[in-house]
């Protein structure tokens, strides 16, 4: 690839001051603001998780009562889902690196990109107002309870509605950017796999998010005007809410996981010095996942009055998701095979992703099978499955992305030893937290319960210990990477010897990314065959 090698003294971080950040339409700055915002949300959501785990450490009431417990798990879920993981990798690293990876100077609509972040902030503020009387409905807002609860469901729903707009605008921007702003020679078959995955996830954002928007709006109308759309007392159907809700909220888990898969597809070939195996299969499986994601939603409703025929149909459709997912996993393993594997921190996270996500994905098949789901529904098995996919998948991958790309953003290298130690803390803590939850779930421990029978005491105790290790792991890992911004050694433009376009420009990247738009002549995965 011929890339611009012009030395610039000016980079995108040169101009200092808060105002420079607020007014900036630079995709890199917006991405970093998103990154910081979602990580703060992650820490707050994590604190709620630890409070919940602390309460559950021993049977009976320890330090919060049952109602507070309901509020805390609602806060944990809403913050983690709406503020952290939905914007997640797309809005942070997608923003920072998608335009660079396709050889563009910015996204298609930079001002709309800034508007997206502004809406995100507005959404956070609206949800923040709700904390005066925090909602206790769970993040799923199931009616009829959410229409009756005396807590501030409206501000949570309205906040999520506004965040949905932010999400749509980001997705729309990326779809147009990928279609229209690729550098000369950047054919679809030369797109980095990270771009493919962000593109697929953006399509889901654009298609699915309006549905949750209207659903939450109807819920708000229900609470303000007494419209009985979902209210059985007025002839409405509460199960319809569940259909509407999951029609968005199932695809949205692929908004979360697809970019994570994209990060892994970038990291694995770089650290095994081999071309990615099955490029087209991985790229198309992203699109396939996006497509299938829209026809599986009712597997969340196996216990809410689905007819047997419909349930079986959705069960089989759900199994379909396993096919493109497994294609990815096999291709990743084939990429590793025979490679010169370099166990740097980003690679450790990528490998952990493959391992943990495989567990999460396979347990998803248990839950997708209608017969097995009936006893497992609403147990800790579901909680553990979800956390294996979304935390073991997306969050682990986000940590990998941080370790992989932050040296590019700042031009400074993190402390590798601390990186590896904190990774081990995260990995051990994670499994210690959630393996006991799988066991409890199979034994029948229901989710969202404040108290439990003594048989589960040991598992809950272990799970809480694991959660604390996990918390320490995440905080120290994030601290390590951000500390490198000021204390790290300069690491040059391409410390990993990687081939995608972002590594061909200086670190930190210049304000306009490329002095001259590069002309792309080959795909970015020619590792090992010739000098990277």
Partner 1 sequence: MSTSTVTNKKLHDGSKWGNPGPMVYDMSKFGMWLFLGTEILLFAMLFTGYAIYYMKMPEDFHNSAKALSTTFGTINTIILIFSSFTVAWAIECIKKNKVKMMNILLVITILCGVAFLVNKYFEYAHEVHIGNLKLANMQWLGGTGRAVAESAVPSMFFFIYFVLTGIHGLHIIIGLGLLTWVLVKGIKGHFHSGWYTPVEIGGLYWHLVDLIWIYLFPLLYLVA
Where does this chain bind partner 1 (CB under 8 A)? Answer: 25, 104-106, 108-112, 147-150, 152-154, 168, 172-173, 175-176, 179-185, 187, 206-207, 209-211, 213-215, 217-218, 221-229, 231, 233-237, 240, 244, 247, 512, 517
**Minimum distance from CB of 259 to partner 1 (Å)?**
19
CA 113 to chain centre: 19
* Four-residue CA torsion sign, 95, 98, 104, 108: negative
Q: Please, which residue, 217 or 333, has the CB nearer to partner 1?
A: 217
Q: Please, which residue, 487 or 521, has the CB nearer to partner 1?
A: 521
CA dihedral 311, 314, 315, 317 (to 10 degrees): 160
Distance CA 263, CA 87 (A): 15
Q: Please, which residue, 213 or 495, has the CB nearer to partner 1?
A: 213
Q: Please, which residue, 105 or 447, has the CB nearer to partner 1?
A: 105
Strands (E), 453-521: 489-490
Q: Please, which residue, 147 or 258, has the CB nearer to partner 1?
A: 147
Token pair for residue 501? 């376009």
Q: Measuring CA to CA, which residue among 42, 53, 28, 91 is closest to residue 396?
A: 42
**Minimum distance from CB of 84 to partner 1 (Å)?**
23
**Minimum distance from CB of 475 to partner 1 (Å)?**
37
Contact call for residues 166 and 179 (beta carbons, < 8 A): no
Q: Measuring CA to CA, which residue among 93, 496, 95, 503 is closest to residue 269?
A: 496
Q: Please, which residue, 225 or 486, has the CB nearer to partner 1?
A: 225
**Minimum distance from CB of 139 to partner 1 (Å)?**
18
Q: Please, which residue, 147 or 425, has the CB nearer to partner 1?
A: 147
**Minimum distance from CB of 69 to partner 1 (Å)?**
22
Half-sphere exposure of 476 (CA within 13 A, CB side): 19
**Minimum distance from CB of 120 to partner 1 (Å)?**
17
Distance CA 530, CA 107 (A): 32
**Minimum distance from CB of 214 to partner 1 (Å)?**
5
Q: Measuring CA to CA, which residue among 423, 114, 152, 97 is closest to residue 266?
A: 97
Q: Name every residue whose Cβ is closer than 8 Å to that of residue 476 and which is 6 or more positions away in sequence.
A: 418, 422, 425
CA dihedral 167, 188, 329, 374 (to 10 degrees): 40
């Amino acid at each position: 690839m011929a890339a611009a090698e012009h030395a610039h003294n000016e980079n995108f971080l040169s101009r200092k001051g808060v105002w420079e950040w607020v007014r900036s339409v630079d995709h890199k700055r917006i991405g970093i603001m998103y990154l910081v915002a979602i990580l703060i949300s992650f820490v707050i959501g994590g604190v709620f998780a630890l409070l919940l785990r602390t309460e559950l450490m021993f049977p009976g009431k320890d330090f919060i009562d049952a109602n507070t417990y309901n509020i805390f798990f609602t806060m944990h879920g809403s913050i983690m889902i709406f503020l952290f993981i939905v914007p997640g990798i797309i809005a942070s690293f997608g923003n920072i690196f998608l335009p660079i990876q396709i050889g563009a100077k910015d996204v298609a609509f930079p001002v709309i990109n800034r508007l997206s972040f502004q809406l995100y902030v507005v959404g956070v503020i609206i949800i923040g107002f709700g904390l005066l009387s925090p909602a206790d409905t769970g993040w799923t807002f199931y009616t009829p309870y959410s229409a009756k609860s005396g807590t501030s469901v409206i501000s949570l729903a309205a906040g999520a509605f506004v965040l949905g707009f932010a999400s749509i605008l980001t997705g729309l921007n990326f779809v147009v950017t990928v279609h229209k702003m690729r550098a000369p020679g950047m054919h679809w078959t030369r797109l980095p796999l990270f771009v493919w995955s962000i593109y697929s996830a953006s399509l889901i954002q654009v298609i699915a998010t309006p549905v949750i928007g209207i659903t939450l709006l109807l819920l708000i109308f229900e609470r303000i005007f007494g419209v009985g759309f979902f209210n059985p007392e007025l002839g409405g159907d509460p199960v319809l809410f569940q259909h509407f809700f999951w029609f968005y909220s199932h695809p949205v888990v692929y908004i979360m996981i697809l970019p994570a898969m994209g990060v892994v597809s970038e990291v694995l070939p770089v650290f095994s010095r081999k071309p990615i195996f099955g490029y087209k299969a991985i790229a198309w499986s992203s699109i396939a996942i996006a497509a299938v994601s829209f026809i599986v939603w009712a597997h969340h409703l196996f216990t809410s009055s689905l007819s047997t025929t419909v349930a079986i149909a959705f069960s089989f459709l759900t199994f379909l998701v396993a096919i493109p997912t497994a294609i990815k996993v096999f291709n990743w393993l084939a990429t590793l095979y025979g490679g010169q594997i370099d166990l740097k921190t980003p690679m450790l996270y990528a490998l952990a992703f493959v391992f943990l996500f495989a567990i999460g994905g396979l347990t998803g098949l248990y839950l997708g099978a209608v017969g097995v789901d009936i006893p497992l529904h609403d147990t800790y098995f579901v909680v553990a499955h979800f956390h294996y996919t979304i935390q073991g998948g997306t969050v682990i991958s986000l940590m990998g992305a941080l370790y992989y790309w932050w040296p590019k953003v700042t031009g400074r290298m993190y402390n590798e030893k601390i990186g590896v130690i904190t990774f081990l803390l995260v990995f051990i803590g994670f499994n210690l937290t959630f393996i006991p939850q799988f066991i409890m779930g199979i034994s029948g421990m229901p989710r969202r319960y404040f108290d439990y029978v003594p048989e589960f005491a040991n598992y809950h105790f272990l799970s809480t210990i694991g959660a604390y290790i996990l918390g320490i792991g995440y905080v120290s890992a994030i601290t390590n990477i951000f500390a490198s911004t000021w204390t790290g050694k300069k690491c040059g433009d391409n410390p990993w010897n990687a081939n995608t376009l972002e590594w061909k420009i200086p670190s930190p990247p210049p304000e306009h990314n490329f002095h001259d738009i590069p002309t792309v002549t080959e795909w970015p995965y020619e590792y090992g065959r010739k000098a990277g």
